[in-house]
Amino acid sequence: MSYANQMPPNHALSGELRVALGQAARRIRQQRGEAGLTDPQYNVLLWLTKKGPLTPGQLADIERIQPPSMTRTVNALAELGLVQKSEHPTDGRQVVVTLTDAGVAEVAETRRRRDAWLTERLQEMTAAERQVLTDAIELLRRIAQS
Amino acid sequence: MSYANQMPPNHALSGELRVALGQAARRIRQQRGEAGLTDPQYNVLLWLTKKGPLTPGQLADIERIQPPSMTRTVNALAELGLVQKSEHPTDGRQVVVTLTDAGVAEVAETRRRRDAWLTERLQEMTAAERQVLTDAIELLRRIAQS
DNA sequence: TATTGTTATACTCTATAACTATA
DNA sequence: TATAGTTATAGAGTATAACAATA
């Protein structure tokens, strides 16, 4: 058997990609500063920044975690004063999560700190390499959302 | 200000890449089958497959976690019968972790199961898109190892 | 009856601090 | 005294099951 005129088997790419993704993601995560927000907490603030107020259920769907997990994360952010929970105007079952001013400021500061390390790594790369990663982002999003 | 003749600022790429990486990695992780190994457990088996017997300390270094965390993972694998802990031949302080036959078989089976989902996603992509991800793997490794 | 969110409970990963055994 | 590994303890994320409130 030969693989002439054929890409390497997808399962080989799959295995390498999966391991590389996992290790890169963890490495980046390790760069969070002391006393910084955890990954799930920061992600929630990012979504609120991007989409405006959301319910816990919507946040759980976006992050693909179960509602009880999101309850926990939102409560932690509320205790930190970074988000505010309020009643839904028309549906008494729902809760609306809104960024506070402190939350907005925290997003800016945390983003700066957490991206700093990765930005340095990217600056060590060539423009062509950065382009590969730029192209990969869309594909990674597709994987994440499927 | 214009960005003509200039890449998007690296910090913008950094933020998008970080989020996309994290979400893709988590999505893939969610695909582990029931009763399958956890990520850290599987990673240890992979390293042992690749490098042969290692000490807990070496495994902790490779995975960039603290020794107590690795002790726990190795013990879990030992209880599952997938690795064996034995004395170091010359240094009584050290421990040697070796794959058992069951561990070797488990690696093959777990790899197959965990890669299956991602392989499907890759097959939905074009050859050019797969090439982007193939190129990205090396860059992700560089990020992970820096 | 269905939906939204929470509480209760449990498991895993991770970390730091303190301890044991060996070099 | 330094190193390798473990134990003790704690914090965070995640999940499922059961419950309350509302639609």
Interface of A with B in 106-125 (CB under 8 A): 111-112, 114-115, 118-119, 121-125
Average pLDDT over residues B1-19: 63
Average pLDDT over residues A57-81: 95
Q: What is the DSSP string of B79-137?
A: HTTSEEEEE-SS-TT-EEEEE-HHHHHHHHHHHHHHHHHHHHHHHTS-HHHHHHHHHHH
Q: Which residues from chain B sit within 8 angstroms of residue A45, using beta carbons?
A: none
User: Cβ distance B113 to B36 under 8 Å?
Assistant: yes
Q: For chain A, what is the mean pLDDT?
A: 86
pLDDT tens for each residue of B84-112: 999 999 999 999 999 999 999 999 888 87
Check residue B26 and give its pLDDT. 79
Shortest distance between the Cα of B15 and any Cα of chain A, in A, equals 6
Distances from the Cα of B13 to the Cα of A8, A116, A122, A138, B8, angstroms: 29, 11, 9, 12, 7
Domain ranges of chain B: 25-145
Nearest by Cα to A71 from A90, A97, A99, A48: A97
Beta-carbon contacts of B3 under 8 Å, excluding residues fewer than 6 positions away, are B9
Q: Which of B14, B22, B145 sits opposite A115 (nearest CB)?
A: B14
pLDDT tens for each residue of A74-97: 999 999 999 999 999 999 999 999
Distance, angstroms, CA A138 to C1' C3?
33
B26 near A CB under 8 A = yes
Quote the pTM value: 0.81
pLDDT tens for each residue of B114-131: 778 888 899 999 999 999
**CA-to-CA distance for B94 and B81, rounded, in angstroms?**
20
A126 near B CB under 8 A = no
**CA-to-CA distance for A116 and A111, rounded, in angstroms?**
8
Check residue B115 and give its pLDDT. 78
pLDDT tens for each residue of A90-143: 999 999 999 999 999 998 888 777 778 888 899 999 999 999 999 999 999 898
pLDDT tens for each residue of A19-58: 888 878 888 877 765 557 888 999 999 999 999 999 999 9
Distances from the Cα of B136 to the Cα of A12, A18, A36, A137, B58, angstroms: 15, 12, 29, 10, 27
pLDDT tens for each residue of B36-73: 788 899 999 999 999 999 999 999 999 999 999 999 99
Check residue B116 and give its pLDDT. 80
When pLDDT is cut at 50, 70 and 90, the band that residue B5 belongs to is very low
Check residue B3 and give its pLDDT. 41
Check residue B1 and give its pLDDT. 43
B14/A122 CB distance under 8 A = yes
Fold of B25-145: Arc Repressor Mutant, subunit A (1.10.10)
